[in-house]
Amino acid sequence: MAYTRAHALLFLAPLLLIVLVMYGMMAWTVAVSLDDWVGMAPVWKFHGLENFRTLLGGALRERLFTSLRNNLIWLVVFIAPTTALGLFLAYGLDLVGRAERVLRPLFLYPIALSFVVSGTLWAWMYDPDAGVINNLFRTLGLGRWAQPWIADPHLATFCLVGAAVWQYTGFAMTLYLAAIRDMPREIFEAARVDGATDVQTFRHVVIPNVGHATMIVVAMLILVTLKVFDLVWVMTFGGPGISTEVLPFFMFVATFRQQFVGIGAAVSVLILILAVAVVVPYAWWSMRRLAA
């Protein structure tokens, strides 16, 4: 049976519906962000960009910029180590031979855990008194390295990032492993015949050949940093004070706990703008590089 254009449309219809709903919701959120909706019941009182003014220059300015700063910290501190560790592990797994079967699931397990579970576990590990990290330091005679971790407003965000790196490394590893397995085996053999060490092979053969995987990994991780919520909610609840708040957390609290629905929608719009502003240029840049 031949497939016609009509078939294609038929099979795409469900997707189209989803896309329509998604963009419909986005449009609705933008509309809400321009309204003075406070409270449980919808209030359609248009007041232009007032919500954005409150956020960017008014009473919520400090809060917004704290969240924004933390999202940027996530962007800068989270992506590089996750990507690097993932690539490193993937190449390692490619080298170890049969042990891979045992090791691969081990590295993959964290991503299978819910963030609520891993957040709780990490909060216990970071506990300054009873936590495993400080106790490990003390046992090893490195007591001066012990820190208050999540109880320190200046350290807490980095502690959260640490937990996320642990959880996402397996994800990056999987994509890189696929990319490495996709490379023709001849390249590796040629490198070996030329007398390249494993490190040299990694540097000169693997890294230049996994660019497309890097693009996907980094783009996905950027989105993770922009929408991070669960770990913050479980581990610190945005605290101490508001020191670990991120934009999605701020959005949720403003909308559902404080019922500033208009303000919450405005924060969502800012997140959307950020996502588009960060991801689109990155995708464009890396696709051009790949094409070159």
User: In the set 50, 152, 198, 230, which binds another protein (CB under 8 A)?
Assistant: 152
Q: To which H or E segment does residue 226 belong?
A: helix 211-227
What's the sign of the alpha-carbon dihedral 282, 78, 201, 175?
negative
144 is a contact residue toward another protein (CB under 8 A): no
CB of 230: closest distance to another protein in angstroms?
14
User: In the set 30, 242, 274, 279, which binds another protein (CB under 8 A)?
Assistant: 242
User: In the set 7, 20, 42, 285, which binds another protein (CB under 8 A)?
Assistant: 42
Structure-token pair, residue 282: 């990155």
User: In the set 3, 14, 15, 129, which binds another protein (CB under 8 A)?
Assistant: 129
What 3-state class would DSSP assign to 38? strand
Residues 248-287 interacting with another protein (rule: CB under 8 A): 253, 256-260
Q: To which H or E segment does residue 124 belong?
A: helix 115-126
Between 154 and 288, CB nearer to another protein: 154
Angstrom distance (rounded) from CA 91 to CA 180: 7
CA-nearest of 192, 198, 170, 161 to 83 is 170
Q: Which amino acid is at 76?
A: V
What 3-state class would DSSP assign to 211? helix
81 is a contact residue toward another protein (CB under 8 A): no
85 is a contact residue toward another protein (CB under 8 A): no
Residues 159-188 interacting with another protein (rule: CB under 8 A): none
Residues at the contact surface with another protein, assessed by CB under 8 A: 39-42, 54, 59-60, 123, 126-129, 131, 148-153, 156, 236-243, 253, 256-260
